[in-house]
Structure 1
Amino acid sequence: MSEGATLRDGRRVGGAVLAAIAQVVLMVAVLAAYEYGRHLADGRPSEAFAHARWLWDAERTLRLPDEAELQKAALRWDGWVRVANQYYVRVHFPAITAFMIWVYFWRRRGWPRVRAAIVLSAAAALALHFAYPLAPPRMLPGHGLVDLMNVYGPSAYASDPGEGMTNQFAAMPSLHVGWALLVAWGVIRYGRTRWRYLIAAHPVITLLVVVLTANHYWMDGIVGCSLVVAALWLTSAVQSLRDGEPVRAGTSERRDSVGA
């Protein structure tokens, strides 16, 4: 191999490494800003509980299943509780992180769209945390809900809502559920094995876990998923406008090159 070819190969490798580092820095910054922003949105408990009472009544008007009755029925056998708590605490960030790594290194054509969906949904969720503080079901008195993380462990929150860096009044929306849907969508869209459809269970399990553990209402998960769906639609719409084509429900593979 000539010296020039070696130099070009070295530059390509160096460029690829720098590009990967830049994406890591970007996404770490996005996630850190989201988590810190959630903390800054704290401090309005009276509004959070008023919103919680309104949302509870709205869900009953919409005839959504009663979270308290569902949890009570599930607790007839409590062997699932610690597993559910572990799922809530341990799976969310590792799953979205592993998904981002997989897409970036092995399904690169989908990376710009996935990156955009994460950034846009995180920004929208953070705006909602500021605009609509919401106490989670486990903190809502009068409905018989059990704080399963506090009773059984492990818990992701301090026992006092005013302690720690986690904003406990940021139940709306649930990106646990929204990003679980994003992971399922990405694996099904970009995966190649026939087994990829099993990942559809991930958002379903996540929704049941966050509701049964009384960390979120049904509407938190619905809104979280809606933000992700809207972000994915927006990336498709932007690329369609660039290409001068009409927006369609299904997008071609080349459209997945859209950036954030």
Structure 2
Amino acid sequence: MRRWAGEGATLRHDRRVTGLAFAAALQFVLMAAVLGAYGYGRHLADGDPGRAFSNARWLWDLERALRLPDEASLQKGALRWDGWVRPANEYYVRVHFPAITVFMVWVYFWRRRAWPRVRAVILGSAAVALLVHFAFPLAPPRMLDGHGFVDLMTAYGPSAYSSEPGEGMTNQFAAMPSLHVGWALLIAWGVIRHGRGRWRYLIAAHPVITFLVVVLTANHYWLDGVAGSAIVVAALWLTAGIPALDDRTPGGAGTSARRDSVGA
């Protein structure tokens, strides 16, 4: 009897592990497919350079009317010492997708209760951003002539873009909105809300650094970052009152996968 009981417990454990692995694989495939579709959709939205440059000039004038700091003057001042440029380019190119991927893995395996809401925010913000790319193509500041911008990725490397617009899988006319900034804000929100310990508040530097990097490297305007942040904040607000996406944990911030349900 004891042997049969032990074999039954082992079988249940194996089934639970298999269920966890299958659920994790399913979520991985879902998110990879969605993010891949988002990236490919961005590429499809790059067919109207005329509108992209017209929108860029309009946005530039709007920012000046709003008395936002001149991005070109800010970049010129920062380039008095250019030791920051290569690290900033690396941050722009290397951090964005790895950071959101690591964040999703952390939430799914160690803060499972928060996963449905985080997933909804990522999917929703990607969908809205893609619609904006089609509706409002926008050339980045580094492509604007006559304003004094330096294309720092071309001048210093590494570059996230091909030498010519329309080549490769990256749309250079998708500056609005900046999900670099929006998802950096989401990561900071998630870690602070669901993490533990005082060190988690250091993550607040991530969206600040990201915002400065995308502007100083002339890849985005101020309003690109504002729009990306607004989309994520709106998604968080809209998902806050949905019971199925409730990420509150009784008794403290966050929870482990062992204490949460297996279902995603």
Partner of 2:22: 18
Q: What displacement does 1:163 show? A: 1.5
Q: What displacement does 1:199 show? A: 0.4
Q: What displacement does 1:164 show? A: 1.2
Equivalences for 1:21-100 in 2 at 5 Å?
Answer: 21-100=25-104
Q: What displacement does 1:190 show? A: 0.5
Q: What displacement does 1:252 show? A: 4.1
- Of the candidates 244, 249, 256, which is equivalent to residue 253 of structure 1? 249
Structure 1 residues 56-93: Cα deviation after superposition (integer angstroms, max 9, x where no partner)? 00001111110000000000000100010000000001
Structure 1 residues 140-160: Cα deviation after superposition (integer angstroms, max 9, x where no partner)? 111000000000101000111
Q: What displacement does 1:4 show? A: 2.0
- Of the candidates 85, 101, 108, which is equivalent to residue 105 of structure 2? 101
How high is the sequence identity, in percent, across the aligned residues? Answer: 75
Q: How many residue pairs are counted as aligned between the two chains?
A: 250
Q: What displacement does 1:238 show? A: 2.5
Structure 1 residues 201-229: Cα deviation after superposition (integer angstroms, max 9, x where no partner)? 00000000000000000000000001111
- Of the candidates 190, 198, 202, which is equivalent to residue 202 of structure 2? 198
Cα distance in 1 between the residues matched to 2:148 and 2:79: 12
Q: TM-score, normalised by structure 1?
A: 0.92
Cα distance in 2 between the residues matched to 1:4 and 1:90: 47
Q: What displacement does 1:237 show? A: 2.6
Equivalences for 1:61-210 in 2 at 5 Å?
Answer: 61-210=65-214
Cα distance in 2 between the residues matched to 1:253 and 1:44: 47
Aligned to 1:167, what secondary structure does the other structure show?
Answer: coil
- Of the candidates 199, 202, 225, which is equivalent to residue 229 of structure 2? 225
Structure 1 residues 162-199: Cα deviation after superposition (integer angstroms, max 9, x where no partner)? 21111100000000000000000000000101110010
- 5+ unaligned residues in a row in structure 1: which ranges? 244-250
Please, which moves more after superposition, 179-188 or 156-165? Answer: 156-165
> Which residue type is aligned with residue 188 of structure 1?
I
> Which residue type is aligned with residue 135 of structure 2?
A
> Which residue type is aligned with residue 147 of structure 1?
D
Runs of 4+ in 1 over 6 A off after TM superposition: none
Q: What displacement does 1:42 show? A: 1.1
* Aligned-residue RMSD, C-alpha: 1.9
The question of whether the paired residues in 1 share the 8 Å contact of 2:175 and 2:220 is answered with yes
Structure 1 residues 83-128: Cα deviation after superposition (integer angstroms, max 9, x where no partner)? 1000000000110001111111111111111111100000000000
The question of whether the paired residues in 1 share the 8 Å contact of 2:114 and 2:248 is answered with no
The question of whether the paired residues in 1 share the 8 Å contact of 2:136 and 2:176 is answered with yes
Cα distance in 2 between the residues matched to 1:237 and 1:11: 34
- 5+ unaligned residues in a row in structure 2: which ranges? 255-259
Cα distance in 1 between the residues matched to 2:168 and 2:138: 18
> Which residue type is aligned with residue 228 of structure 1?
V
C-alpha spacing 1:252/1:104, structure 2 compared with 1 (3 Å): closer
> Which residue type is aligned with residue 85 of structure 1?
N
Aligned to 2:241, what secondary structure does the other structure show?
Answer: helix
